[in-house]
Amino acid sequence: MKKNTATNNKEMNEAMNLNTSVKTNRRISRVAAMILSLTLTAAALPQQICSAEFYMPEYEIVTEGNLEFCRSTDMEGFNVSCIDKTAESVIVPAEVNGRPVTELAKEAFSECKYLKTIELPDTIKEIGDYAFYGTQWLEDRRAEDKLVIVNGILIDGANAEGDVVIPDTVTVIDDGAFFRNEKILTVQMPDTVTKAGADVFYECTNLKSVSVSNNLEKISAWMFARCSSLTSVNIPESVTEIEVGAFNGCTELEALNIPETVESIGGFAFADTRWLNNKVTENPLVVVNGILIDANEFKGSSVVIPDGVTTIGGRAFNYCNAIKNITIPSTVKLIDDEAFFGCTSLRTVDISDSVEEIGSCAFCNCSGLRNISIPASVKTIGNNVFGNCEALRRITINNPECDIDAGMSAPFGSAIYGHADSTAEAYAAAEKLSFHTIDESETNSQDTLTGDANMDEAVTNADFVTCVLGIINGSSVEGSDCDINADGKVNAADLLLLKNILMA
């Protein structure tokens, strides 16, 4: 059975939007950037573009017989795929143009339904997903052994059942190897395994326990997701990272020991598990190894993140719509991707001068956010950080050399404040946003309610009318907050931005 990708088969992914943005080196306009993003997405998948009609200069492509070899400039060796879907036999060489053939591309032999014999060199160390899907070769291998292993890579366990013991000849378990296998009950993974890909045990609903290799480097994305019978997993000290959704939907998972070696935990890694539910009852701010991994049950309007937290994890405050104010302590160094995604009531964020990085989409869909000051300690601001923050009026970037992603997504009409000749000024110029130098004597308050033209401490249609009348009458609407884009004038551009604020 063909394995589906995580994107196609996980309904929860629609809410996540994780890892969907592509960094670009420059932006001509927002529309142009979207088109360029799609182009670069294709370019990032050499397995799928290695054919003459999609040739790009940064790829070396070689065709020999019924095989095509592709290598990008940053790859040591070639990946290989079959271009003749009628082929019955394939011999993959160990070397092409003096470089090793190291990888079977995604869908390398997919749909080659007549393919019965495949000879692979020992140089093959990686095998892409669906590489043998629809081949007679795979069907024959499944008939011979319930675990299909190629060059130490376990690529398929679709026919495995009961208690599975993976042989110690295996060093890698390929993506989705046991995908939706409802027949396996337990799995013993030998210590020879150092890598297990995404979706390996996804929706193995009768899997109760797994003995994980003591040399496994990470728990990959969605690796155990929706294993609804899984009650416990041993995570060895060799693991340093638990990726997005790793145990998502493991409803019976209660016994879980996360070693101190784990330094990174992806969004929704433990969502809908008993383990997380128990943690939340103890404290709505769930912290593991200094990583704040979940705050979705926090109900207050103001939150002070505890001292000792070093990372605010991905989607930690996912759609926490009650929160208006956040204080980040001096121990935090990373605000991870999508940390405050969808916090629509968020008004102020006090970011400590310990924070060094703000990840992609960290404040996406924070439609109530008006002003934000990013301290000089921040070295990197990621892609789409302020996506759909249409009410955001002022962004102050205090580090003159901050690495600002070209797709930071400061909304149209917002103003950038920073030092002269800084990266902030360059970003503002590229995005055609107003730029102002930081006045060291100025108090950079975030308390002003942007758009409150009639000073009633609320932004409503009445403010829009006030601004319209002010423009018609030629008045400056002095004392109001109608200069939404902070350009020193009140005009139609401000009305457009105020409309966006009201809609948000």
3-state DSSP of 373-438: EECCCCCEECCCCCCCCCCCCEEEECCCCCEECCCCCCCCCCEEEECCCCHHHHHHHHHCCEEEEC
- 């070639």: which residue's tokens? 78
Percent of the chain at pLDDT > 70 equals 81
Checking if the pLDDT of 69 tops 70, the result is yes
Phi first, then psi: give them for residue 224, nearest 5 degrees: -115, 15
What is the band of 53 on the pLDDT scale with cuts at 50, 70, 90?
very low
Overall average pLDDT of the 218-245 stretch: 96
Query: What pLDDT is stored for residue 107 in this prediction?
Result: 94
Query: What pLDDT is stored for residue 484 in this prediction?
Result: 67
What is the band of 454 on the pLDDT scale with cuts at 50, 70, 90?
low
Counting every residue written for the chain, the total comes to: 504
499 membership: H or E segment, kind and range: helix 492-503
Q: Give 286-447's CATH code, choosing from 3.20.20.10, 1.10.3720.10, 3.90.1150.10, 3.80.10.10.
A: 3.80.10.10
Phi first, then psi: give them for residue 71, nearest 5 degrees: -145, 125
Query: What pLDDT is stored for residue 331 in this prediction?
Result: 98
- The tens digit of pLDDT for each residue in 278-299 reads 999 999 999 999 999 999 999 9
Checking if the pLDDT of 447 tops 60, the result is no
Higher per-residue confidence, 429 vs 52:
429
Helix axes of 461-473 and 492-503: crossing angle, nearest 10 degrees = 180
Q: Of 332-346, 446-460, 476-490, give the range with the top mean pLDDT.
A: 332-346
Checking if the pLDDT of 124 tops 60, the result is yes
Overall average pLDDT of the 170-194 stretch: 97
145-282: CATH topology: 3.80.10
Checking if the pLDDT of 28 tops 50, the result is no
Query: What pLDDT is stored for residue 157 in this prediction?
Result: 97
Checking if the pLDDT of 310 tops 70, the result is yes
Overall average pLDDT of the 140-167 stretch: 97
Higher per-residue confidence, 440 vs 365:
365
- The tens digit of pLDDT for each residue in 235-280 reads 999 999 999 999 999 999 998 999 999 999 999 999 999 999 999 9
Checking if the pLDDT of 477 tops 60, the result is no
Phi first, then psi: give them for residue 110, nearest 5 degrees: -55, 135
Checking if the pLDDT of 478 tops 50, the result is no
Query: What pLDDT is stored for residue 449 in this prediction?
Result: 54
Distance CA 334, CA 357 (A): 5
Q: What is the mean pLDDT of the chain?
A: 85
Domain with CATH 3.80.10.10 in the chain: 145-282, 286-447
Phi first, then psi: give them for residue 463, nearest 5 degrees: -70, -40
194-201 contacts, C-beta under 8 A, 24 or more apart: 195/171, 196/172, 196/220, 196/223, 197/172, 197/173, 197/223, 198/6, 198/222, 198/223, 198/243, 199/3, 199/6, 199/175, 199/223, 199/225, 200/173, 200/174, 200/175, 200/176, 200/224, 201/227
Q: For the stretch 264-301, what's the b/e string if a residue is b when 16 or more beta carbons lie within 10 angstroms of its beta carbon?
A: bbbbbbbbbbbbbeebbeeebbbbbeebbbbbbebeee
Q: Which two tokens stand for residue 369?
A: 């956010």
